[in-house]
Structure 1
Amino acid sequence: MQNFTKESLIQSLIEIRQKGWIPTGRKNNDGGVGNTLEDLLGIEENNLPIPNASEWELKAQKKNTTSLITLFHMEPSPRAFKFVPTILLPEFGWRHKEAGRKYSQNEQSFRQTINAKGYSNRGFTVKIDKLDKKVWIDFNYKNISDTHNSEWLEQVSNKKLEPKPYWGFDDLYHKAGTKLHNCFFVSAESKKINGTLHFKYQEIFMLKKFNLDKFVNAIEEGYIYIDFDARTGHNHGTKFRLRRDSLIKLYSDVKQY
């Protein structure tokens, strides 16, 4: 594996950009843009071989995608409750669309991508408490859309989410501060040429000094989403995610190449 300094990595990214349209060796999905970039750099997945590599992340995304960038995985507190598999899924989950086909008849699903700007159509939202320094999840059945299955509506009507799952600011600061302290972010256009997906890498950002206050403000302003993705047979993990153009807002020192 090639060793990089920050300067040589930037130069390698610029050289990749100068190549124009590059075919991917990966499947045609949103993750392919980052995987292809790692292949071109000759590095293992998100393993930057530069000094203090643990302080740097490499992220890439297609410019024309609406997909969210995953910042990190983190299950809510109190951890002993195992909120997602023991409370949210059995108490507030709904019948999985593949129940009785791919999965058993009793397979339940709990998939929600929510933020602090309002309640989802299943009645969930994100709340910020700066006094107690917590980000927590609230449920209000009155905000559920009447388009949902009547059996599920009856099941959750008048239910309260108690205790409420939450993340303490200190825990979020530790997770985000270590995972996202510094970051290289590259955007790319994409198109198919002769049936093969190609990427054209363009914007290159070096993002330094992850700002914890900006992070909390971004949650409060709805730029950051909390994504639950669980079914009876497997919890895919709870993720903190955001839109591509919001990533640079989380850093104090931004430089574009």
Structure 2
Amino acid sequence: MTLYSKDELIAKFIELSEKGWVKNRRMGNSGGVGNTLEDYLGIEENNLPIPNAAEWELKAQRKNTTSLVTLFHSEPSPRALKFVPCVLLPHYGWQHKEAGRKYPETEMSFRQTITCKYSDRGFCVKVDRDAEKILIVFNPLEVDPKHSDWLNQVYQNIDSGCTNICTMQPYWGFRDLSCKAGGKLLNCFYVQADVKREEGEEYYWYNSVKILQNFSFKGFLDALESNNIYIDFDARSGHNHGTKFRMSESAWPLVYEKITPIIQDGEVLRTSY
């Protein structure tokens, strides 16, 4: 793997932008923008080939997308319980939409994208600054009536009443999450691409690059409380796809103290860092 200085990496971004449209090298892969960029740079799985790479992250995304950016994966505590597959899924899960077709009839699902505003299944995120924890809260009174059958099943699953239905709460401690997020996201190259399709093939033009510096955990907590960061659970009986912290790209200014454009709409704004 070739090693780059930061300036050499920026030069590679400029070179790629000036190429114009390049073909998706991973057709059928939802992460084609990032995968094709990694292939071009000759790197694997976001392993940035620069000195002090542990301080830098690479994020790539389509322009004008409503999709969220995955910041990092982190399973909630208490981790020894394997909380998502062993507590949330069996106690609060529902039948998977592909049960009886792609999966067995008994296949269960727990897929929820949760913010500090209650979801229609009664889940929300709570930032407890006194206890220094981010918690997942369940309130059956917030469950939409369309899920009444599921709620009745929840009561049966845990054999409990409304007042103590969620006495065990999944959580992330501030200290642990700050280390995780700060270590993963301290500084970041954020690359965007326009997308087009021709004759069944997909093409990208990597024409926007920003440097995001000085990740702020305080800003991260503020963004959580303002519903700009989402916690995404994606588990089913056969597999836990992991718990992700995600956000929209418009929220970068909330979590980074400095944002420096390098390329904007194909125009090179600076050539070194």
Q: TM-score scaled to structure 1, two decimals?
A: 0.95
SS in 1 for 2:102: coil
> Who is 2:271 aligned against?
none
Instruction: Tell me the distance in 2 between the aligned counterparts of 1:20 and 1:39.
Output: 16
> Who is 1:26 aligned against?
26
Instruction: Tell me the distance in 2 between the aligned counterparts of 1:82 and 1:16.
Output: 43
> Who is 1:252 aligned against?
257
> Who is 1:88 aligned against?
88
Cα offset for 1:248?
4.1
Instruction: Tell me the distance in 2 between the aligned counterparts of 1:2 and 1:243.
Output: 32
Cα offset for 1:68?
1.1
Cα offset for 1:30?
3.9
| Aligned mate of 1:192, from 182, 189, 197 | 197
Cα offset for 1:108?
0.8
Does the Cα contact within 8 Å between 1:137 and 1:165 map onto a contact in 2?
yes
Letter of the 2:222 partner, please give it.
N
| CA RMSD after TM alignment | 1.4
Letter of the 1:156 partner, please give it.
V
> Who is 2:146 aligned against?
147
Q: How does 1:26-45 map to 2 (within 5 A)?
A: 26-45=26-45
> Who is 2:225 aligned against?
220
Number of positions where the alignment pairs a residue of Structure 1 with one of Structure 2? 255
> Who is 1:120 aligned against?
119
Cα offset for 1:81?
2.3
Does the Cα contact within 8 Å between 1:141 and 1:156 map onto a contact in 2?
no
Cα offset for 1:171?
0.8
| Aligned mate of 2:173, from 146, 150, 168 | 168
Cα offset for 1:120?
0.6
Instruction: Tell me the distance in 1 between the aligned counterparts of 2:192 and 2:48.
Output: 18
Please identify, of 71-80 and 169-178, the stretch whose mean Cα deviation from structure 2 is larger: 71-80
Q: Per-residue displacement from partner, 1:31-66 (whole Å, max 9, x unpaired)?
A: 110111111112222011110111111110001221
Pair 1:156-2:161 in alignment: no
Letter of the 1:111 partner, please give it.
R
Does the Cα contact within 8 Å between 1:69 and 1:241 map onto a contact in 2?
yes
Instruction: Tell me the distance in 1 between the aligned counterparts of 2:41 and 2:245.
Output: 27
Cα offset for 1:156?
2.6
Does the Cα contact within 8 Å between 1:55 and 1:178 map onto a contact in 2?
yes
SS in 2 for 1:85: helix
Gaps of at least 5 residues in structure 2 are 156-161, 263-273
Letter of the 2:39 partner, please give it.
D
Instruction: Tell me the distance in 2 between the aligned counterparts of 1:86 and 1:44.
Output: 32
Gaps of at least 5 residues in structure 1 are none
Report % sequence identity: 55
Cα offset for 1:192?
0.2
Letter of the 1:183 partner, please give it.
C
Letter of the 1:182 partner, please give it.
N
Does the Cα contact within 8 Å between 1:123 and 1:142 map onto a contact in 2?
yes
Q: Which runs of 4+ in 1 moved over 6 A?
A: none
Instruction: Tell me the distance in 1 between the aligned counterparts of 2:101 and 2:208.
Output: 44
Letter of the 1:39 partner, please give it.
D
Instruction: Tell me the distance in 1 between the aligned counterparts of 2:67 and 2:173.
Output: 26
Instruction: Tell me the distance in 2 between the aligned counterparts of 1:89 and 1:54.
Output: 34
Instruction: Tell me the distance in 1 between the aligned counterparts of 2:224 and 2:115.
Output: 7
Cα offset for 1:28?
4.2
SS in 2 for 1:162: coil
Does the Cα contact within 8 Å between 1:95 and 1:107 map onto a contact in 2?
yes
Cα offset for 1:80?
2.1
Cα offset for 1:86?
1.5
Q: Per-residue displacement from partner, 1:72-93 (whole Å, max 9, x unpaired)?
A: 1111112222211111111110
Q: Per-residue displacement from partner, 1:3-25 (whole Å, max 9, x unpaired)?
A: 11001111110111111111111
